[in-house]
């Protein structure tokens, strides 16, 4: 088969057809690499012989490296390039005790390899007035949030043939914004015990997000191929809520956010939603999701074979190569063997983008992670053998 460009490869698989090989994703916010030890980004750079790279800039929400070196992208055969919206987490205030205040007054503290939300500013909010009186809400339409990105995206889209992501950051999150502001338990509790307040919070967050996505994608919409939004909806052993409750308490807002994005771009809409979300996938599709990440194969009902059989022609599967055991603890040989097995199940017929089932955690040795990308690159050539 004739070698496709990365963008053609991604477009083909998104049409549920087989391209020349499985497209590979790495970088951006998710299914990427962290700046943390013992391995992580810096060890990967060293392993690949990449020197003099720019100091890693991270997206604090996941400690993901926002400025992956181009040599690393190339060496790992990555078909995408990810562009973060400028200051989509900010403005950020760094406090002397190491904690941060980010967008909407959300508080983070460093712990282990991640920054974690704490000290939830709306933990005690119960009334509409509490939302109105809260001073932390960020202004979504300041020029600050657009600075420079238009040119970067335009150049990337016009002068390269990579598939280009324009990431929304917090402006693509609803439930996460709620739970980072009020606490995870409260997000779920409010749905049941204080539904009027819940709806007012979701309306308010959606309204701000829609203002931002409208402004942002009306400028950059033609220059991006994929847009990422994210809201985790699953634990290891099941979705957080039954599908009927998802339809009532989450989907209406998610659907409006996606419609707001798609109004200004033909880009494919990728949703990141962790854990066991099998039961929610039909509603994700109905809400306008084109690509689903991260496909955690060890979570309940998330076996790649089941997903491929039931949804493989309806939604593009992204990720799926197990990070919880295989990449975290497997040997190089085990990772090569395991990756081939996942590819045999997920790749046939297209509709699949190869990536890790979540971020490459920093205990994964670089040679092991590289083996996964090399295996997708070599073994992921169609027809899959």
Partner 1 sequence: MVNYKELADAVVAGNVKVVTSIVDKALNAEKKSPVEIIEKGLAPGMDVIGERYAKGEAFLVDVIVAANAFKKAMEIVRPHFKATDKKTGTAVMGTVEGDIHDLGKNLVCVALEVNGFNVVDLGNDVKPSTFSSAAKSSGANIVGMSTLITTTMINLKNVIDQLVEDGIRKEVKVICGGAPVDKAYVKEIGGDLYGKNAFEGADVMKKALGVK
Print the binding letters for residues 103-122 with partner 1: x by CB under 8 A, - otherwise.
------x-xxxx-x-x----
Q: Residue 41 in 3-state DSSP?
A: helix
Closest approach of Cβ 235 to partner 1, in Å?
6
Please check whether residue 346 is in contact with residue 379, taking contact to mean a CB–CB distance below 8 angstroms: no
Nearest approach, Cβ of residue 179 and partner 1 (Å)? 11
The only residue of 134, 288, 324, 381 in contact with partner 1, by rule CB under 8 A: 324
Q: Is 238 in the site for partner 1 (CB under 8 A)?
A: yes
Region near partner 1 per CB under 8 A, out of 3-11, 24-32, 191-199, 345-353: 191-199
With CB under 8 A as the contact rule, the residue among 189, 195, 305, 333 that binds partner 1 is 189
- Choose which of 70, 132, 185, 196 interacts with partner 1 (CB under 8 A): 185
Nearest to 314 by CA among 268, 278, 281: 281
Secondary structure of 4-36 in HEC code, one letter for each residue: CCHHHHHHHHHCCCCCCECCECCCCCCCCEECC
Site for partner 1 in 11-70 (CB under 8 A): 36
191 part of the interface to partner 1, by CB under 8 A: yes
Residue pair 26/355 in contact by the 8 Å Cβ criterion: yes
Residues 6+ apart with CB under 8 A from 83: 149, 152, 153, 156, 164, 165, 166, 167, 224
For every residue of 158-205, DSSP letters joined together read HH--SEEEEE-GGGG-SHHHHHHHH-HHHHHHHHHH-HHHHHHHHHHH
Q: Binding residues for partner 1, how many (CB under 8 A)?
A: 33
- In the complex with partner 1, which residue's Cβ is closer, 39 or 162? 39
Query: Cβ contacts of residue 285 below 8 Å, gap of 6+?
Result: 311, 314, 315
Binds partner 1 (CB under 8 A): choice among 184, 219, 288, 348: 184
Question: What is the distance in angstroms between the CA of the first residue and the CA of the last residue of the chain?
Answer: 15
Nearer to partner 1, 264 or 359 (CB): 359
Measured CA to CA, the distance from residue 62 to residue 233 in angstroms comes to: 17
CA distances from 307 to 3, 136, 149, 380 (A): 28, 40, 36, 19
CB of 197 to partner 1, least distance (A): 15
The residue range among 214-222, 239-247, 261-269, 307-315 that interacts with partner 1, by the rule CB under 8 A, is 239-247
- Smallest distance from partner 1 to CB 302, Å: 12
Q: Which residues between 244 and 283 bind partner 1 (CB under 8 A)?
A: 245
Give the residue with the Cβ less far from partner 1, 144 or 329. 329
Find the binder of partner 1 among 93, 139, 218, 236 (CB under 8 A).
236
In terms of CB distance, is 241 or 384 closer to partner 1? 241
Select the span of 5-13, 186-194, 345-353, 373-381 touching partner 1 (CB under 8 A): 186-194
Q: Is 197 in the site for partner 1 (CB under 8 A)?
A: no
By CB under 8 A, residue 219 contacts partner 1: no
| Neighbouring C-beta atoms of residue 329, cutoff 10 Å | 12
- Judged by CB under 8 A, does residue 126 bind partner 1? no
For residue 248, give the H/E element and its range.
helix 243-249
Q: Binding residue for partner 1 (CB under 8 A) from 188, 224, 281, 295?
A: 188
Distance CA 366, CA 377 (A): 16
| Cβ-contact 211, 255 below 8 angstroms | no
Using CB under 8 A as the binding rule, whether residue 361 contacts partner 1 is answered as: yes
Print burial letters for 204-240: b (CB count within 10 Å at least 16), e (below 16). Answer: bbbebbbebbbbbbebbbebbbbbbbbbbbbeeebbb
- 162 vs 278 by CB, closer to partner 1: 278
Q: Kindly state whether residue 241 participates in binding partner 1, applying the rule CB under 8 A.
A: yes
Q: Which residues pair with 226 in a beta bridge?
A: 165, 268
Q: Which is nearer to partner 1, 211 or 324 (CB)?
A: 324
- For position 363 contacting partner 1 by CB under 8 A, the verdict is yes
Least Cα distance to 251 among 143, 160, 174 occurs for 174
Give the number of other CB atoms < 10 A from CB of residue 24: 23
**Residue span binding partner 1 (CB under 8 A) among the ranges 76-84, 161-169, 236-244, 264-272:** 236-244
| Residue numbers at the binding site for partner 1 (CB under 8 A) | 36, 109, 111-114, 116, 118, 184-185, 188-189, 191-193, 235-242, 245, 300, 323-325, 328-329, 361-363
């Amino acid at each position: 088969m004739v070698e496709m460009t990365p963008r053609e490869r991604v477009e083909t698989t998104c049409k549920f057809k087989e391209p020349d090989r499985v497209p590979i994703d790495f970088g951006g916010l998710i299914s990427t690499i962290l700046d943390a030890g013992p391995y992580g980004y810096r060890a990967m750079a060293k392993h690949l012989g990449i020197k003099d790279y720019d100091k890693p800039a991270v997206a604090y929400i996941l400690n993901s490296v926002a400025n992956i070196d181009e040599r690393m992208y190339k060496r790992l055969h990555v078909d995408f390039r990810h562009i973060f919206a400028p200051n989509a987490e900010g403005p950020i205030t760094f406090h002397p005790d190491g904690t941060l205040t980010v967008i909407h007054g959300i508080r983070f503290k460093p712990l282990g390899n991640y920054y974690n939300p704490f000290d939830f500013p709306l933990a005690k909010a119960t009334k509409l007035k509490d939302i109105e009186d809260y001073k932390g809400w960020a202004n979504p339409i300041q020029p600050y949030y657009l600075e420079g990105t238009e040119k970067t995206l335009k150049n990337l889209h016009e002068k390269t043939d990579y598939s280009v992501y324009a990431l929304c950051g917090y402006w693509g999150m609803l439930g996460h914004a709620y739970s980072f502001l009020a606490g995870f338990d409260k997000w779920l509790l409010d749905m049941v015990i204080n539904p009027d307040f819940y709806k007012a919070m979701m309306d308010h967050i959606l309204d701000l997000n829609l203002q931002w996505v409208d402004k942002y994608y009306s400028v950059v919409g033609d220059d991006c191929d994929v847009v990422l939004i994210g809201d985790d909806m699953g634990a290891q052993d099941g979705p957080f809520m039954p599908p009927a409750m998802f339809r009532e308490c989450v989907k209406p807002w998610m659907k409006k956010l996606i419609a707001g994005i798609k109004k200004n771009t033909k880009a494919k809409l990728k949703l990141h939603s962790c854990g066991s979300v099998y039961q929610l996938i039909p509603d994700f599709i109905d809400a306008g999701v084109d690509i689903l990440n991260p496909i955690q194969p060890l979570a309940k009902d998330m076996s790649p074979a089941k997903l491929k059989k039931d949804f493989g022609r309806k939604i593009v599967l992204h990720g799926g190569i197990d990070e919880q055991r295989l990449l975290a603890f497997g040997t190089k040989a085990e990772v090569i063997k395991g990756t081939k097995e996942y590819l045999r199940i997920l790749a046939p017929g297209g509709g699949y983008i190869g990536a890790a089932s979540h971020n490459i955690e920093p205990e994964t040795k670089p040679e092991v992670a590289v083996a996964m990308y090399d295996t997708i690159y070599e073994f992921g050539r169609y027809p899959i053998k």
